[in-house]
Amino acid sequence: MDGAAYFARLDENNEVVRVDVIGTDNAATEQDGINFLRNLYNDQSLNYVQTYKDGTRYNFAQVGGTYDSTAKAFIFRKPFASWVLNTTNYLWESPIGPEPDDGNHYMWDEDSQQWLIWANPGL
């Protein structure tokens, strides 16, 4: 095997239910890879999309995430109800902006809608 190709199996709602890895010798083209997997599982109805193909798709597929075929983007699971999707990079962002970058560790508090300093006395 001279490398690997990653394919996301999608359900009828374009949710990623599995990510399969196959050798690139079995996936000379995206269609070859999809056909290889359909034959491997003996099911021609399986819906596959190659994930993060040479930068032509946004993000790497995540089980539980979705695929937007119009944007050619894999979208991760929404981490919090208040977060919004940035349609430039197809990543979720907090409604008040990114986590502060001041050397502290933060966690998002959904109730107060703010970044709180994460204090773990065990560290």
Residue by residue, pLDDT tens for the chain (123 residues) are: 458 899 999 999 999 999 999 988 888 888 999 999 999 999 999 999 999 767 788 999 999 999 999 999 999 999 999 999 999 999 999 999 999 999 899 999 999 999 999 876 555
Rounded Cα distance between 72 and 13, Å, is 15
Indicate the pairing of strand 16-23 with strand 91-93. unpaired
Cβ atoms of 15 and 23 closer than 8 Å: no
Cβ atoms of 12 and 3 closer than 8 Å: no
Q: pTM of this prediction?
A: 0.83
Neighbours of 37 (CB within 10 A): 20
Helix (H, G, I), strand (E, B) or coil at 36: helix
